[in-house]
Amino acid sequence: MNLTKSCLSLCLYLLSCVIWQTAQANDKPVKTFKIVTDIQADGTAGKLIAEFVKNVEQKTNHQIRFKVFHGGVLGDQLQYFQHIQRGVIDIGLINSASIESVIPALGVMNMPYLFRSVEEYRKVMNNQQVRQALFDSSQKHRFTFLGYLSSDFRSIYATTPIRNRADLSSLRLRTISSPTYMQMLASFGAVPTAMPFGELYSAMQQGVVDGAEGGIAGIYQAKFSDVAKYVLLTEHTRLTDFVIASSQFQNSLTATEKQIIEQEFAKISNKSIEFAEQNERINKQKLIEEENVTFYPVDKDEFIARVKPLYSAALTDPDKANLLNTIFKIENRSF
């Protein structure tokens, strides 16, 4: 009988401890942060961000919460980037091409054939030295890098047959508004044309441009294959969506919270690479079977030789040279 009473007393004591600890936790102020993107919530990147949000909220016992604004409702990337710098927005998605327009040294991440395989990309992007180099470059601009989301390798597609590099001569190709991308296409012999992504379909349809450079998955998903039936598999770059955070956001976190957030986004970053590879395979097959798109492989050595001057120029810039040499060391090669 006494033993039963003792067990009951112990159970009641432990239960009271749990209730007290829960009450204490609930007394802590909830931290709510804003995440802003220009992508749709139902896309791959949108789903990955939703998974990150869910995991962090669970791991912090809902003491950290996020409000996510998708689809550019709070402006385009450069607009909300400025709000992140001011601390008005906590976290945002900005691609490597947009960052280059603000921090030219980070144009290194857009260099053609910097990554020649998905293995190289993963190795570099998850390397602590590279993360530190990106962190160092961002601090003076009042933001920090939280993580990244990968897209697939980019190639060239057109409304007329493009079987080799010579067929690119004088073709007007849409590209991102990035000095590195513009120089790259010019070195291939094409005429680079910067225009918003949303205008590309009609521009190809009306003959304003002859084609574009971009990811294979995007050709199918944006229905560009209605008008562009030819793809040259250059695989020249791998555009990265960086997830950046304001300095105020970082400073508001405890050491434990910061660790949870960094760990959870590292998982999402790695998952994004697998998703990108899967999406490319699936959509390439659909382009062939459903849209009668023709793919032409290339001799990449010819394209690599043509962009060497871009590297020679970049290596004369101390900031670019530092990041480039760090990446080459990880890849265990020179350009």
Residue-wise burial string across 22-59, b where 16 or more C-beta atoms lie within 10 A, e elsewhere: eeeeeeeeebebbbbbbbeeeebbbebbbebbebbbeb
pLDDT per residue as tens, the chain (335 positions): 444 545 454 444 445 445 445 544 455 689 999 999 998 898 889 999 999 999 999 999 999 999 999 999 999 998 999 999 999 999 999 998 888 988 888 899 999 999 999 999 999 999 988 988 887 777 778 898 999 999 999 999 999 999 999 999 999 999 998 999 999 999 999 999 999 888 999 999 999 999 999 999 999 999 999 999 999 999 999 989 999 999 999 999 999 999 999 999 999 999 999 999 999 999 999 999 999 999 999 999 999 999 999 999 999 999 899 899 999 999 998 87
- Residues 36 and 93: their CA atoms lie apart, in Å, by 7
Superfamily covering domain 99-335:
Bacterial extracellular solute-binding protein, family 7 (3.40.190.170)
CA angle 84, 107, 328 (to 5 degrees): 120
Q: Is the CB of residue 283 less than 8 Å from the CB of residue 219?
A: yes
| Strand, coil or helix: 157 | strand
Return the domain boundaries, the chain: 99-335
Q: Are 211 and 204 in contact (CB under 8 A)?
A: yes
Model pLDDT, residue 12: 47
Determine the pLDDT at residue 15.
Answer: 52
CB 59 within 8 A of CB 258: no
Question: How many C-beta atoms surround the C-beta of residue 314 within 10 A?
Answer: 19
pTM: 0.86
Task: Note the pLDDT of residue 156.
Answer: 98
Helix (H) or strand (E) holding 58: helix 44-59
CA 245/CA 32 separation, integer angstroms? 14
The pLDDT value given to residue 138: 79
The two three-digit tokens of residue 296, written as one number: 């032409």
Q: Which pLDDT score, from 0 to 100, does residue 21 have?
A: 53
Q: How many residues does the chain have?
A: 335
- How confident is the model at residue 29, as a pLDDT? 83
